[in-house]
Chain A
């Protein structure tokens, strides 16, 4: 079991470019989450999903989009990258509230 796998690990984008951060889990968990972590700060929830076909906004969804066509995959899309989106992005999967989660190793994104 790989758990939660994120790709890429690092990426540099120019302002206005777009990209997709990939997240895959092999734990058959219904719940998946995308967070961002700015330097010296805690996590902020961007989007989450409680199952295939269902997504919902978290605390900081602006500038991002997600989809959940399968239980395994939960990609995060940045359409028009901005410097404010420079951050470390973490994906997580879990069985639901009350069961904890498993985090991926993160994607460090820099927008210049």
Chain B
């Protein structure tokens, strides 16, 4: 069975509403941030990314906001659909001495209610 995300914080959203998933990151020197989703029993799927020199980036139905002042990252999903139900992870990437260090959050489960 699926063991990912057994004890994760859960966000329940009505179908058609907008979802906002939040993530706090740890390193103010992080260069780059990624959001990805993982459906039950499947591998992760890249959603959207943002560089540290940006505040906002938009994709198809998704927007990522970066607030470097408070080290906060959010993923907004417009018109949430049942297919959006998954665990969502954020990741921060820092380049140190020529090497990239990736730190992933533990995830938030999004449940879309019909």
Contact = CB atoms under 8 A, between A and B. Distances in A.
Contacts of B107: 41-42
Nearest to A42: B104
Contacts of A102: 46
A106 B43 contact: yes
B87 to A, nearest CB: 9
Interface residues of B, number: 29
Contacts of A39: 3-4, 6
A106 B31 CA distance: 27
Interface residues of A, number: 27
A97 B49 CA distance: 9
Nearest to B8: A40
B57 to A, nearest CB: 11
B105 A42 contact: yes
B42 interface: yes
A94 B44 CA distance: 13
A59 B103 contact: yes
Interface in A41-96: 41-45, 48, 56-59, 88, 90, 92, 94
B3 A40 contact: yes
A41 B107 CA distance: 7
A103 B8 CA distance: 22
A104 B101 CA distance: 21
Contacts of A22: none
Interface of A: 37, 39-45, 48, 56-59, 88, 90, 92, 94, 97-106
7 contacts: A45-B101, A58-B101, A59-B103, A97-B32, A98-B32, A100-B34, A102-B46
